[in-house]
Chains A and B, each alone.
Chain A
Amino acid sequence: MSNSLNGAVKILITLALALGIGAIFILAIGQSPVEAYGALVKGALGTKLGIGNTIAQFTPLLLTSIAFAVAASAGAFNVGVEGEVILGGITAAYIGINWGFLPVPLLYLACFLGAMAVAAAWAYIPAALKAYFNVSEVCVTILMNTVALYIGSYLVSGPMSAGTATPQSDPVLVTIPKIMKPSSANAGVFIAIAAVLVVIFIVYKTKWGYKLRTVGTNPTHADYVGINSKKVFINAMLLSGMLGGMAGCIEVLGVHGYYLDNFAKDLGTNGMLAALIVKSNMLFTPFIAFFLAVLKAGSMAMQQATDVPKSIVDTVSAIFIIIATMEFVVSLGKRRKMEHEAKAVANIGSKKPDDKKTGKEESK
């Protein structure tokens, strides 16, 4: 428990540092940081519309951040959540428009399952490439995001186009009800929270999750004790893909009611940001996702109320992440120093290139 308390304190100190550096930027352009941050918080949480916007921002971020964190807990750096969101969205739109023969409850189910299946299949590609051919998943997933974007864009401006000037599809037959009009917050937020709770339970409290975390911590050890690390790695990516697909489905059914080209812009990136800030700790990730949602929702109000451009918010979040990845905030003095040294030694040892191979030969 003291460990997670320690973690929370660290995050708060990091946050203060990031906001401080952001304040310097704001001062540099001759504005008042207090006013800017005040306007931001007021815009995000001060009005009913603001709270609605925050919830609307929070819903996809929660899912995408946990999607990233799940993959990370098995050692995968899945930048491809955005592509999964896009393909999940387009699948949900396709089923929602064309499968009217299904009764309504089943149609909802079909939209979600279809979106999750397609997104998981998409995530399988980089996962298998990494597991079997050791192709960097970072590279592949980033490039695949662009491919997914163009696939969605092609479908929505060609075969699935509604014929309007903006590339968008016909409206879907079922939508998720809005909960705080006129904002686009919708009941999808409850689905997202439920899904995330289930995933957290799976990862921390089941045998499957234990295998996942073992592979994430040390794949060689996992192989020794009889866990097929490659299979588990792929499974984690599949789960990650399913969460991304679900986010896409909720966006399409809940926010827009149709597929809008480029609707997933930055959803995956910001989810990744939230997860990276807390080193993919799934218990903290939702809080950071909420914090980022506040920043996003309030940034527009801040830009209107003051002369501070809203890109300052992205700058602050990026600084937040850079500082957060560093083991910067030293808390427990000596103990930490010792840990640090132990880690440095371990690091050098683990970078020995033929580590895995020699291990295998010895075991034979």
Chain B
Amino acid sequence: MDVFESLGKIFNVSLIYATFRASTPIIYAALCAAVTQQANILNVGTEGIMLVGAFTAVAVSFLTGSWILGVLAAMCGGAVIATIMAIGHIKYNSEICAIGMGINLFAIAITKFLLQVIFNTSGSFSDPGIDPIPTVHFAFLENIPVLNGLLNDWAFTEWFVIVFIIILQFLFYKTVWGLRLRAVGQFPMAAQTAGINVNAIKYQAILISGLVGGLAGAHLSLGYSTQFVENMTNNRGFMGVAAMYFGGANPALTAVGCLLFGFSDSVGARLQAYGFPAQFVLMMPYLVTIVVLAVSMAIKVAASKKKESSLITG
């Protein structure tokens, strides 16, 4: 009886929103990685782009008192960082992992530096002057018991992510630009022969990825919480990259992968109340990510082997 009661407390309706809430920053990060992955560029710098976005969002929102300006500035900040990466990778032949990690380290250092210089604090910065991303309140839901708790008072960017997944899905698979992007990713030489400017497409992909990454950061620091903490992305960027692998850079499938990590995160948080050591709870989303990534890639490898052998024998 006790077990059922506890299970009921862990797996209840509010877990659905908790899962979604924990997933949203990772979904944005994963979409940031998905845009470049379509052009066959592994965006290791997602984490750094996101962190710069998070800092810019808080700083601008605090200084101007407007969350819209904060979000826009964050997207621009992300784009600037991404442009550095794009120039390095495309023009100067940098290895993408190397420059991506460089970008990540730079993001951690520069946000720390600016936090000290601009706000004169270290560690974290929170202030009532920071204007957070507003929540969306539906008055008509107030009287409906379950839906009220489930759908009311989401942050604006949490609703927007759903729209955004659809937009990207459309962009990748239904537009000329998307076709070109995927052509560049799958076979750059053929794309070039077909008259596509490969480098231009790559620049555009990384730039858009920067905008998305900045938005991811803004959501993290203004929507998910209302503060900036040093290294607050806490590997969410890399979880996003892992989810992107899981979903094969398809926005919808990628988002499903993110929900899985969000789910393990929220269940873990509830398990902590039942005496599980905090460290195990904290490492859960990371473990789940690794296992899911390994299994999904193993299935892919097995499937492609099967295809190969059927080609040879048939």
Known contacts A139-B293, A269-B105, A319-B106, A133 near B298 by CB under 8 Å:
yes
- Is B293 within 8 A of A153, CB to CB? no
Are A29 and B117 in touch, CB under 8 angstroms? yes
The reply to whether B105 and A314 form a contact with Cβ atoms under 8 Å apart is: yes
**Pair B289/A309 contact, Cβ less than 8 Å:** no
Interface residue stretch chosen among A37-45, A106-114, A188-196, A345-353: A345-353
Q: Contact size class for B?
A: 35 or more
Cβ 8 A contact of B112, one of A129, A151, A314, A328: A314
Q: How many residues belonging to A are interface residues under a CB distance threshold of 8 Å? A: 54
Main secondary structure of the interface of B (DSSP, over half): helix
What are 11 A-B residue pairs whose CB atoms fall within 8 Å in the complex?
A: A79-B101, A132-B301, A133-B301, A135-B293, A135-B297, A151-B283, A311-B116, A315-B113, A327-B94, A351-B189, A352-B187
B residues within 8 A CB of A157? 279
Which residues of chain B from 79 to 127 have a CB within 8 Å of any chain A CB?
Answer: 84, 88, 91-95, 97-99, 101-103, 105-106, 108-110, 112-113, 116-117, 122
* 17 additional A-B residue pairs with CB within 8 Å, beyond A143-B235, A146-B283: A77-B97, A129-B294, A129-B297, A132-B301, A133-B294, A136-B242, A136-B293, A138-B44, A143-B290, A146-B286, A279-B95, A309-B112, A312-B113, A322-B106, A325-B88, A326-B99, A327-B94
A154 near B280 with CB under 8 A, answer yes
B58 to chain A, nearest CB (A): 17
Minimum CB–CB distance for B196 against chain A, Å = 13
Asked whether, in the complex, the Cβ of A133 is within 8 Å of the Cβ of B297, the reply is yes
Contact indicator B40/A351 (Cβ below 8 Å):
yes
In the complex, B153 has a CB within 8 A of chain A: no
Q: Does B201 contact A (CB under 8 A)?
A: no
Contact A150 B282 (CB under 8 A): yes
A347 to B89, CA, bound (A): 12
Q: Is the CB of A273 within 8 A of B301?
A: no
Contacts of A287 in B (CB 8 A): none
Q: Are B84 and A322 in contact (CB under 8 A)?
A: yes
Establish whether residues B188 and A321, one from each chain, have CB atoms under 8 Å apart when the complex forms.
no
Q: Are A136's CB and B308's CB within 8 A?
A: no
**B279 & A154 in contact (Cβ 8 Å cutoff):** yes
**Does A142 make an interface contact (CB < 8 A)?**
yes
Say whether, besides A153-B279, A327-B92, A272 and B101 are in contact (CB < 8 Å): yes
What B residues does A318 contact at CB under 8 A?
102, 105-106, 108-110
Bound CA span A343–B301, Å: 30
Give bound CA distance, A347 to B280, whole Å.
43
B238 interface residue (CB < 8 Å to A):
yes
* Interface 1/0 per residue, A155-175 and B, CB below 8 Å: 001100000000000000000
A317 CB within 8 Å of chain B: yes
B257 CB to closest chain A CB (Å) equals 12
B225 at the interface (CB under 8 A from A): no
Q: Decide: B238 and A349 in contact? CB cutoff 8 A.
A: no
What sequence of 0s and 1s flags, for each residue 303-345 of chain A, a beta carbon within 8 Å of any chain B beta carbon?
0000001011011011101100111100000000000100110
B175 at interface, CB cutoff 8 A: no
